[in-house]
Amino acid sequence: MEEPKILHNMNYDFDIWYKTYDPVFSEISKQSRLPEKWISFDKILLGSNKDSILKPINRYVEELYPAPELISIEGNKIRLRQGNHAEIFLLIQDDGFFYNLDRPWMRQYYQTTNQLPDRDNCFKGTYIFYTPWYVDADVLVKYERPSIETAFLSYPTESLHKKTDESIKYLEPDFIKFQFKKVGRHMDRDGFGKIARQNAMFDIVFECDDIMLKRVKDFYEKGSN
């Protein structure tokens, strides 16, 4: 699948990302002029991941966003790790303003009004990742901070997932609050930062029964995304 090309529409609001806080994901995707076939979940139920326990939330994710990495299986506890699929650029301007940008048409993170306290090792401002892959089962999913070095400081949260069915038009993702770290290998001495692809964003942790465990193993044995 080729990288989507931006449509030159005079009615398109190029500032929609900057104007929107805590978005409904399907709505901001529509407002960003993403084609329906790329943002609707029903297309997934007709494709190669229709029977998978891990499902992409839409076709855009299925084609462009690698599935989370399998980190560990301890008994019936699964730990996966999600990385970003496109580079993110950071810049401290002369006036002290912190500028950040990623380039995907469907952006990897969004703005939120829920601002967390500033931390000495992070830039000011709180953002939210959307979760591109969904655990398709009736299970409590916990999002945890990765134990390895990363350019992001994510904040733990949890979500009760429900098994999907063909009645779902749009699968709305969970959102994970995070801040950008201002120290680390992604930053240089001039205040410019470049976060490479597959930098750890958050871990996905859940307990499962033996049937779910086998489905997780099957997903990774066959080769994910």
Structural domain spans, the chain: 16-222
Q: What is the pLDDT along the chain (225 residues), one digit of tens a residue?
A: 444 443 434 355 768 888 999 999 999 999 999 999 999 999 899 999 999 999 999 999 999 999 999 999 999 999 999 999 999 999 887 666 788 999 899 999 999 999 999 999 999 999 999 999 999 999 999 999 999 999 999 999 999 999 999 999 999 999 999 999 999 999 987 778 999 999 999 999 999 999 999 999 999 998 755
> Which pairs from 99-105 meet CB under 8 Å and 24+ separation?
100/127, 100/180, 104/64, 105/3, 105/4, 105/6, 105/32, 105/34, 105/60
Decide if 90 contacts 195 (C-beta within 8 A): yes
Tokens for 16, please give them: 């929609």
Element (H, E) at 63: helix 59-64
Burial status of residue 164 (CB atoms within 10 A of its CB: 0-12, 13-18, 19 or more): middle
- Cα angle, residue 6 at apex, residues 167 and 65 outer, rounded to 5°: 55
Q: What is this structure's pTM?
A: 0.90
